[in-house]
Structure formats: structure tokens, C-alpha cells
């Protein structure tokens, strides 16, 4: 419910500080409303249209929040928290947004009734800790990448796309648990989307670029790989220097040196060169003549993946001055490299470095392939954090289990701080209620059924089957969420709720132009 100013005092003027708080709460509520229809197995898509008529159709909360036009500062705070959730965990942005909206909305209601903000925050912190304790305690560890629970995690996060869930799990198995546990590795970064491509998991790395010219080899067996983290061009001479004899001679010397470096690359036996930036015409000509495949302007992310897979060490162009014996240590190896001319991609497989898998998803149009890529990235992120932190029952069930625990401990908070605990309890109902509502059932009725069933059977995994409306065990249905997604979502929601509740005055800052006057 969006608060109105009449709720503060219908017969007198509104206190400006309460007005600021209500204004912020309404802005947050508007943002939360934009994504609440997408949550759950029956959630629908949102169409976003820009001023040029470009369309994005998506079910991903973070995409909606990222693309929607927002000017209110409190709303931007909420969106930034959701983005941080996505960057850290890769999933759960919609849940975090709904929880934050509920915490803030109920918190403001308590303040309007006369509860001091400090007491609301005190209770909110207490309740949040109890919730996180439940999440930690109820989590089930996944020690094996072949655990069937991973497929269910991928299906839930992948919005029930069976083909994408299969690809993600296959990639996770190929990469292995050790690599998935690496905090610097993100399985979601292995997702590659291309219009017209076939869905597959490729054991290797894909570079979304073409070879420099058609005269270069299309297929390379037993590739020796050199990665230039730089432009592969002669060092530049300023125009003014070129007008002098000394400067022109310097230019010629640098060009001769560069040509020597190119032939040195060939002498090393290199037959695949990848460059971060451009490759000069001279480099293009020499590499074509010598049968070397060269690819320019490769993204830094792709270069790092190729280096890791082939065992290559990236080098700057100045590093080519090293002796051949030293340069050999920078080379990588791959069993096979080939270009798919239709897709405009280079495939590198059987590298001598670390195993790498690439998840390729395709579709007939740019709009659809973009959404499928987002779905695959969400599923990949969820699978990885499930390996790292375990899983919990989804469908809002675990939040209702936490609700019962918070309710049992409410009496520990004395005085008005207990009203802050009430805000947490109300917020915990939101994910379940919205999922059930989106499925076409009465949230109040189903909420009562599940809370009673959980208490009676002492089973925190009970929720609602969104197809039948019956109480069911979420583990048996395969409705499973990663522990870390739940923990980070609630932490993020509580943090932004506290930050916004603490704001009692909004002051417009002067601009730089005003400051200069």
C-alpha cells in the first residue's frame, strides 16, 4: 500500500520530516511494484521501450531496474542495492527489491503511528539477524557437482528453461568444483549469446571476433598462441618530429624494429595472435603471408579467458624486444583453433592451461537471444553460489519458516523496538504472497495454510504448488534457491531500508555553476 499524506494527520499540516520519509517510501514502492509481477514460476514479462522505439522484453528484475527511467534519489538507492546484489551473487535482485520495499513501507507506517525511527531500526536489526540465522541453519550443502539438486537450482533461476538449465549444469560439471569455488571465477561470464547459434556447451573458449583477413588460415591444429595486451603497431612519432630529418630517421628505425618483432613472432612458431587493440597494416600483411591467424580488438575478458585456457601469458608490445628464449615462456598452446564464418567467432579448444567451458545460447532474433543470455547468466550464477553455500527451499517457504522464528523471539525486544520486529515479520510474507498472487491464488488464504502446515509438521520446506494451489514440499517439487542468494538479498534489503528510514530531511544541493557565482 502506498502511503498518503493524509495518514499522517488529516486535520493539520504535515511535518516536513515525515513528508520526506513518506515521499521516499512511495518512490521505493513504485520501483518495487515494477518488478513484483515477474517473480515466481507464473511471473510475467515486462516490456521496456526507449525514446527511439527500441524494445527489451524481460523477466529479469535487474534488467528492468537497470533500464527503467528513475529520477528519485531514494528509488536510485534501491536500484543500486539491487545491482550490487546482482554483481556480488548474480541472482535474487527481484527478491531483494520486494523485501526492501516491504521493510521500508511497514517501517514508515510504524513511524507515522508514532514509533521513533531509532526503535524501528533497532527491531529491524534484531529481526534481520534472526532471519539470517535461520537461513544459515536450514541450508543443505552440495558437495558434488553431479548432485541432482543443482539441476533444480538451474531450472528455478533459469525460469524453467530446461535446455538452458541442462547447458549450465553440464558446464559446471566440465569445469569442476575446485574452479567453481574460486572467488575470482564467475560461471556466468562463460555464457556467450549469438543470433543463429546452436545451444551447446563448448569445452574451450569462444572469441567474438573474426580473423583479420580471409587470407589467413581458417583452421589451426596444434596452435601456439601469443596474446598482446596492447596494440600491435609501431611506436608512434609526433607529426612535428616527422618533419625533421632526425625524427624521420627515428620513424624508419622504429618501423624496422617493429618488422623484426613480427618476424620474431613467426620464428617462435606462433600461428595465432590475439591483440587487445589494433594490428597495423604491416602486421596484417606479414601474418597473412606467413599463415598466421591474427585477431584484433579482442575484449579484455576474452583475452584473460584465452590466456587461462591456453596457459599463455599476456605481453605488451614493448615486451617483444625480449630475446626469443625469453618470449617462449609467454606462449600458450591449444589443440585446435577454428573460425565459424557464419557466426563471426573464433573457437579455441583443448588448451594446455586450465579447463574452460563456454555456454553458448542462441535464438532467431537479437531481442530473444539477449533475454536467453540473461536467463543463462542467472542460472549459471545460481548454480555456482549453490555449490559455494548450499541450498534452501524456495517459493517463499524458507521466509515463512524464518517468520515463525522471528515471531517466537519477538518478546525479547522490549518497548517500541518490538514494532521494528513487526516490520521484518511483515516483509517476510512478501515473497511468498507475491509468488502465490502471480499464480492466481489468494495470498492470505495460502499464507495461513502454509504457516499452519509448517508448524504442525515442523517442516520449513512446505510451500504452495503454484500449479495446483496445494501445500507441498518445495524440495520434492524441485523449487530450490541458493543459501547465499537468500542471505545477500535480505541483508541488502535491510541495509537499504535502514538507510532510507534514517533520512528525515531532503535538501537540494547547489550546482557547480551556482557555487562558482
Question: Strand 358-363 vs strand 191-195: parallel, antiparallel, or unpaired?
Answer: parallel
> How would you classify residue 14: left for phi > 0, otherwise alpha for psi between -120 and 50, otherwise beta?
beta
For residue 328, the 8-state DSSP code is G
> For position 192, what pLDDT does the model report?
84
Give the list of residues 6+ apart from residue 62 with CB closer than 8 angstroms, or none: 82, 83, 85, 86, 93, 94
Same domain for 344 and 415, yes or no, is no
pTM greater than the 0.85 cutoff: no
Same domain for 121 and 160, yes or no, is no
Sign of CA pseudo-dihedral 160, 163, 168, 173? positive
**Which CATH number goes with the domain that contains 163?**
3.30.260.10
Dist CA 32 CA 20 (whole Å):
18
Same domain for 399 and 427, yes or no, is yes
> For position 17, what pLDDT does the model report?
61
- Provide the CB-side half-sphere exposure for 172 (13 A, CA): 34
Same domain for 351 and 378, yes or no, is no
Q: Is residue 507 situated within a structural domain?
A: no
Q: Is residue 83 situated within a structural domain?
A: yes
Torsion, Cα 286 288 289 293, to 10 degrees, reads 100
> For position 314, what pLDDT does the model report?
95
**Which CATH number goes with the domain that contains 301?**
3.50.7.10
Q: Is residue 447 situated within a structural domain?
A: yes
Q: Can you give 460-497 as a three-state secondary structure string?
A: CCEEECCCCCCEEEHHHHCCEEEHHHHHHHHHHHHHHH
Cα 343-349-350 angle, rounded to 5 deg: 170
DSSP string, 430-461: HHHHHHHHHTTS-HHHHHHHHHHHHHHHT-TT
Dist CA 487 CA 92 (whole Å):
10
Q: Is residue 337 situated within a structural domain?
A: yes
Question: What range does the domain containing 369 cover?
Answer: 142-189+360-389
> For position 46, what pLDDT does the model report?
82
> For position 73, what pLDDT does the model report?
82
Q: Which of 350, 352, 348 is nearest to 335 (CA)?
A: 350
Same domain for 133 and 213, yes or no, is no
Q: Is residue 475 situated within a structural domain?
A: yes
Sign of CA pseudo-dihedral 390, 396, 398, 403? positive
**Which CATH number goes with the domain that contains 474?**
1.10.560.10
Same domain for 411 and 430, yes or no, is yes
Contacts by 407-413, CB closer than 8 A, 24 or more apart: 409/126, 409/130, 412/126, 413/122, 413/123, 413/126
Q: b/e per residue, 248-259, with b = 16+ CB within 10 A? A: eeebeeeeeebe
Same domain for 87 and 124, yes or no, is yes
Same domain for 302 and 438, yes or no, is no
Same domain for 128 and 158, yes or no, is no
Grid coordinates representing 505 are 530531511
Dist CA 258 CA 245 (whole Å):
20
For residue 139, the 8-state DSSP code is -
Q: Is residue 515 situated within a structural domain?
A: no
Q: Is residue 510 situated within a structural domain?
A: no
User: Which of 389, 404, 431 marks a domain boundary?
Assistant: 389
Contact 424, 227 (CB under 8 A): no
DSSP string, 13-82: PPPHHHHHHHHHHHHHHHHHHHHHTT-STTPPPEEEE-TT--EEEE--HHHHHHHS----HHHHHHHHHH
Same domain for 215 and 248, yes or no, is yes
Same domain for 348 and 215, yes or no, is yes
The 10 Å Cβ neighbour count of residue 237 is 16
Blockwise average pLDDT, block size 10, the chain, 517 residues: 46 59 84 86 84 79 80 83 76 86 92 91 95 95 90 90 90 89 87 81 89 94 94 76 68 83 91 94 92 94 92 92 92 94 90 87 77 87 93 94 94 92 95 94 95 95 94 94 92 91 72 57
Same domain for 121 and 16, yes or no, is yes
Dist CA 300 CA 291 (whole Å):
25
> For position 242, what pLDDT does the model report?
60
- C-alpha distances (whole Å) from 375 to each of 302, 362, 367 are 21, 12, 13
- C-alpha distances (whole Å) from 493 to each of 44, 88, 243, 361, 489 are 23, 14, 63, 32, 6
Sign of CA pseudo-dihedral 101, 104, 109, 110? positive
Dist CA 290 CA 510 (whole Å):
63
Domain count, the chain: 3
Q: Is residue 516 situated within a structural domain?
A: no
Residue 181 main-chain phi, psi, to 5 deg? -80, -10
Amino acid at each position: 500500500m502506498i502511503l498518503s499524506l493524509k495518514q499522517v494527520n488529516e486535520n493539520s499540516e504535515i511535518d516536513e520530516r515525515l513528508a520526506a520519509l513518506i515521499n521516499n517510501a512511495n518512490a521505493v514502492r513504485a520501483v518495487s511494484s515494477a518488478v513484483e509481477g515477474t517473480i515466481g514460476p507464473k511471473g510475467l514479462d515486462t516490456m521496456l521501450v526507449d525514446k527511439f522505439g527500441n524494445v527489451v522484453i524481460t523477466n529479469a528484475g535487474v534488467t528492468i531496474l537497470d533500464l527503467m527511467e528513475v529520477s528519485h534519489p531514494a528509488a536510485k538507492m534501491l536500484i543500486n542495492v539491487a545491482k550490487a546484489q546482482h554483481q556480488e551473487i548474480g541472482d535474487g535482485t527481484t527478491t531483494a527489491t520486494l523485501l526492501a520495499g516491504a521493510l521500508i513501507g511497514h517501517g514508515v507506517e510504524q513511524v507515522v503511528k508514532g514509533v521513533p525511527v531509532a526503535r524501528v531500526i533497532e527491531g529491524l536489526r534484531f529481526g534481520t539477524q534472526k532471519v539470517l540465522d535461520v537461513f544459515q541453519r536450514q541450508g543443505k550443502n552440495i558437495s558434488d557437482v553431479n548432485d541432482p539438486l543443482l539441476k533444480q537450482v538451474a531450472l528455478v533461476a533459469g525460469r524453467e528453461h530446461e535446455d538452458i538449465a541442462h547447458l549450465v549444469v553440464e558446464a559446471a560439471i566440465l569445469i569442476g568444483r575446485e574452479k567453481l569455488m574460486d572467488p575470482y571465477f564467475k560461471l556466468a561470464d562463460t555464457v556467450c549469446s549469438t543470433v543463429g547459434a546452436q545451444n551447446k556447451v563448448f569445452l574451450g573458449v569462444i572469441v567474438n571476433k573474426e580473423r583479420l583477413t580471409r587470407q589467413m588460415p581458417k583452421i589451426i591444429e596444434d596452435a601456439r598462441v601469443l596474446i598482446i595486451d596492447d596494440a600491435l603497431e609501431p611506436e608512434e612519432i609526433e607529426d612535428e618530429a616527422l618533419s625533421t630529418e632526425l625524427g624521420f630517421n627515428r620513424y624508419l628505425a622504429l618501423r624496422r624494429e617493429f618488422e623484426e618483432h613480427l618476424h620474431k613472432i613467426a620464428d617462435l612458431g606462433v600461428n595465432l595472435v590475439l591483440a587487445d587493440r589494433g594490428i597495423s597494416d604491416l602486421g596484417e600483411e606479414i601474418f597473412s603471408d606467413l599463415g598466421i591467424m591474427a585477431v584484433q580488438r579482442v575484449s579484455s575478458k576474452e583475452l584473460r579467458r584465452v590466456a587461462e585456457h591456453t596457459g599463455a601469458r599476456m605481453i605488451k608490445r614493448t615486451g617483444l624486444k625480449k630475446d626469443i628464449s625469453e618470449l617462449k615462456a609467454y606462449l600458450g598452446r591449444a589443440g585446435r583453433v577454428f573460425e565459424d564464418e557464419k557466426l563471426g567467432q573464433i573457437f579455441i579448444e583443448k588448451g594446455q592451461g586450465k579447463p574452460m567451458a563456454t555456454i553458448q545460447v542462441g535464438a532467431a532474433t537479437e531481442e530473444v537471444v539477449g533475454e536467453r543470455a540473461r536467463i543463462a547468466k542467472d542460472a549459471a550464477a545460481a548454480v555456482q553460489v549453490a555449490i559455494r553455500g548450499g541450498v534452501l527451499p524456495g517459493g517463499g517457504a524458507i521466509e515463512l519458516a524464518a517468520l515463525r522464528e522471528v515471531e517466537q523471539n519477538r518478546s525479547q525486544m522490549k518497548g517500541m523496538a518490538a514494532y521494528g520486529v513487526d516490520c521484518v515479520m511483515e516483509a517476510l510474507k512478501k515473497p511468498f504472497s507475491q509468488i502465490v498472487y502471480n499464480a492466481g491464488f489468494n495470498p492470505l488464504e495460502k499464507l495461513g495454510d502454509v504457516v499452519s502446515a509448517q508448524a504442525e509438521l515442523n517442516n520449513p520446506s512446505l510451500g504452495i504448488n503454484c500449479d495446483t494451489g496445494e501445500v507441498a514440499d518445495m524440495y520434492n517439487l524441485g523449487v530450490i534457491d541458493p543459501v547465499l542468494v537468500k542471505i545477500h538479498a535480505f541483508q541488502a534489503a535491510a541495509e537499504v531500508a535502514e538507510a532510507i528510514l534514517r533520512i528525515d530531511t531532503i535538501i537540494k544541493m547547489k550546482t557547480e555553476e551556482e557555487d562558482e557565482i
